[in-house]
Chains A and B, each alone.
Chain A
Amino acid sequence: MDSSIPVSASADLTVVAASAKAGRRARRARWLTAGGVGFILLLVLMAVTAPWLAPHDPTRQSLRARLVAPTLDAADGRAHLMGTDHLGRDVLSRMMYGSRVSLLVGFSAVLVGGLVGSALGILAGFRGGWVDTAIMTVADAQLAFPFILLAIGIIAVLGPSFVTIVVVISLAGWVGYARILRSQVLGLRSREFVDAVHALGGSVLRIVWRHLVPNILSSIVVVATLELGRAIVLEATLSFLGLGIQPPTPSWGGMVQEGREYLDSAWWISTCPGLVLMAATIVVSRTGDWLRDLLDPTLRGE
């Protein structure tokens, strides 16, 4: 930022410096993304191995050891690294099992929402015309609807169950996929592009396979990662409102809700799962950002 240097020279230097910086940034982005993905894998690992790793049975109550602060030796003679809750259950074990709910619901919702959303987006892009308008208007309507109320309403109708919650959360996310895919397809449908491919001797199917799919994949991965973060938050919010997975299965949101009454005394009941939840969603979202920077910067400005 040295303004005494003549403009032309500074422009060259800036370009050189910029490309070097870009190189460093790209490397850093790759490292960070790898770190983020690694964290997600760790979460998955914790969820999968919870039955073996968790120190206690998450549903085992011990009414005599209620509301015990994090300790290595509680009234029942065992260690509770994150304390116990209002029924004497070990918070750490429940937190580990809670990750199973969050991740299972999250991945399922991303899968379902992704499939449905992508299909609709591709359909809208390819067919165009009123199909496109119809799908986009439905998307508009959904975005206008205060989503949490829709979720509560649907769960009130269908009753809280794993399937219902996945359906609801998928509903929350499909629009993202649809939009991205639609714009990708529209871009590829543009006459110049099709003409060019035809000129080079390709067919529609080859267009789809060799050009659409690779582009789509990276977009989908980015959107899916961001949606995973949002899905985890939404599941936790629904559990917090009492509409999530039913007791005694632990879920992070449900645990925060159960501990709410004890914020001033047994604060660890809400805080431990809540902090883990926050860390998980932050890392997942950030990884989505990094992936986007890495794979497809044109997705910015979302």
Chain B
Amino acid sequence: MTVSRRDLLKGAALAGAAAALPGGLVGPAAAQTTQKRELVVAQGGDISSLDPHMSTSSNDIRISFNIFDNLTSRRPDGKLVPALATEWKLQGQQAWAFKLRQGVKWHNGDPLTSADVKFSVDRTYDPAAKTRVSTVLTTIERIETPDATTVVIHTKKPDPLLPARLGFYAGQIVPKKYLESVGPDAFNQKPIGTGPVRFVSWTKDDRVVLDANGDYWGGKPDFDRLIIRALPEMAPRVGALLKGEVDIATQLPPDQGERVKSNPGTIVSGALYGGLYVLAVNSKVKPLDNPLVKQALSIAIDRDVIIKELWRGRGIVPSGPIAKGDNHFDASLPALAYNPKEARELLKKAGYKNEEIVIETTAAYMAGDKPMAEAIQAMWKDAGVNAKVEVFEYSVRAQKNRDKSFKGLWWSDPTSTLRDPDGMMWRLLGPGGPQDYWRHAEWDELGNAARFSVDEKFRGEAYKKMTKIFLEHLPWIPVIQPYEDNGLQKYVEWNPDPLQQLEIRRFNFKFRRA
């Protein structure tokens, strides 16, 4: 049968129309499905280290948790699940026994053994290794490896949270044989892990390229290649998302949410941050040594308006020092109040003599830092406080953090690493901790006891009491527990993580395919 010219043209038209179907219907910017095999993520900064024990910054965590696995893993929904360990249980009061998963291989083919686990954990607090996570696992006394698939960890005192400690930074397991043979510098250039992606290349200030690990014990991820791009400026990061150049853009400021939502191909997806944004207080400086002054400062902040206007509603008002989603979060506690009149009364009662109170803030280092500081200063001025804002760079902040020489208040975004008050309030505000500016005998006693108790009821009571003391003395003034938003292409199915982990394993990430 001969094909007439008309049939040919009709066929061509149909072929053209077919080529314009899903995947290319309205152009890449509005696709609901895709055939992509490459996942591109844009984050707000370049990585500083590929060695998981050498950094705790979120820009590094997004990658290190994917090149490496931990014994236990914290899912985006908050549950702690088996990862490299399939089960764990207490042996007596002071030892945890972990059973390792069988058949796990390093990216170079070597098998995972208990020797690797012992090596990794010991490394974190080994002074010779000079890691940046040396204080995380210090409850451990010694580690035994009775056989290749069993690890017994003895703690100095009863430590109910050990499995949780191993689930976050410092708990990434690194290969003993490989690391010892090439040395830490080479390891940092070419890391080897057991995770769902393996390292390919790192172009400084530009991108990290990772290939999917086809032999991953949790199943090969739904892509062949993962590219993490460093786009510190917000405009190009959002721009790249809107143009379809990246699939996920992290650290999306609330003011950009509308833009991303109204763009046909993209949506906003956020997780409630597993931590708090607080104004940390140098309680050694007058007049901040007076609890009444701090209470006045806290009650003079209109958190609702800050959340509604500066965060476009993307956050909740905290009720105390424990983040929502943590163990022992007391849902019955009221949100921190706003009452400027009471603030004035408290100031009078405190005998406040118009001393200068300074908020030292960075500019755009932490989300909303400078605008919130300025807004809070205005609110405090209205309540009769002689408030000042000073902007400093983060290198000055790091120095002051070390010297403990802050002039008054400064922004801090403590992370609840264990999803438990022990991992946030106690870790940071406890005696000898990084934010040790205030001590209270009863509070200290309770915190210590709660850390080492296996009785959850006792711990709950202790944290309730500590919260009450906290709200009276306010070593932190909690301001907001924000949603950390990301911009996604509509064809991405992915749940963001409250602890910024960028979970791309099969159970949490998928491209929506036609």
Contacts and interface: CB of A to CB of B under 8 A. Distances in A.
Interface in B463-488: none
A242 B235 contact: no
A156 B389 contact: no
B306 interface: yes
Interface of B (DSSP majority class): helix
Contacts of A263: 235
Contacts of A260: 235
Contacts of B306: 63
A264 B309 CA distance: 18
Interface stretch (B158-166, B219-227, B373-381, B446-454): B373-381
Nearest to A257: B363
A61 B393 contact: no
A264 B242 CA distance: 13
A137 interface: no
Nearest to A61: B378
A86 interface: yes
Interface string A57-91: 00111011011000000000000000000111000
Contacts of A201: none
B305 A242 contact: no
A61 B370 CA distance: 14
B83 interface: no
A301 interface: no
Nearest to B305: A63
Interface string A239-280: 000100011100000000000111111000000000000000
A246 B234 contact: no
Contacts of B389: 246-248
B25 interface: no
A61 B374 contact: yes
Nearest to A60: B378
A46 B410 CA distance: 36
A188 B79 CA distance: 86
Contact of B255 (A59, A156, A242, A262): A262
Contact of A261 (B255, B310, B377): B255
Interface string A140-183: 00000000000000001000100000000000000000000000
A86 B371 contact: yes
Q: Which of B235, B305, B378 has the most CB of A within 10 A?
A: B378
B378 A59 contact: yes
B275 interface: no
Given A86-B371, A246-B390, A261 B235 contact: yes
A64 B253 contact: no
A63 B309 contact: yes
Interface in A184-243: 242
A64 B374 contact: no
B393 A156 contact: yes
Contacts of A59: 378
A264 B259 contact: yes
Given A61-B374, A242-B363, A265 B259 contact: yes
B309 A64 contact: yes
B234 A261 contact: yes
A101 to B, nearest CB: 15
A64 B234 CA distance: 24
Interface string B221-245: 0000000000000110000000000
Q: Which of A242, A247, A248, A264 has the most CB of B within 10 A?
A: A247
B18 interface: no
Contacts of A264: 259
Contacts of B374: 61, 87, 247-248
B375 A61 contact: yes
A64 B305 contact: yes
B391 interface: yes
A64 B308 CA distance: 9
Interface in B285-327: 305-306, 308-310
Nearest to A266: B255
B500 to A, nearest CB: 21
Contacts of A67: 255
A86 B253 CA distance: 13
A246 B377 contact: no
B337 to A, nearest CB: 18
Given A63-B375, A64-B309, A261-B234, A247 B391 contact: yes
Nearest to A261: B234
A196 to B, nearest CB: 59
A263 B256 CA distance: 11
Interface in B348-371: 363, 370-371
B373 to A, nearest CB: 8
Contacts of B370: 247
Contacts of B310: 63, 66, 86
Contacts of B255: 67, 86, 261-262, 265
Contacts of A262: 255
Contacts of A248: 374, 377-378, 389
Contacts of B390: 246
B303 to A, nearest CB: 11
A87 B371 contact: yes
A263 B233 CA distance: 13
A-B pairs, 6 with minimum CB distance: A63-B309, A61-B378, A63-B305, A242-B363, A247-B389, A66-B309
Given A63-B310, A248-B377, 7 more contacts: A63-B305, A67-B255, A86-B371, A242-B363, A246-B390, A261-B234, A265-B255
24 contacts: A59-B378, A61-B375, A63-B308, A63-B309, A64-B305, A64-B309, A66-B310, A67-B255, A86-B255, A86-B371, A87-B371, A87-B375, A156-B393, A160-B391, A242-B363, A246-B389, A246-B390, A247-B374, A247-B389, A247-B391, A248-B377, A261-B234, A262-B255, A264-B259
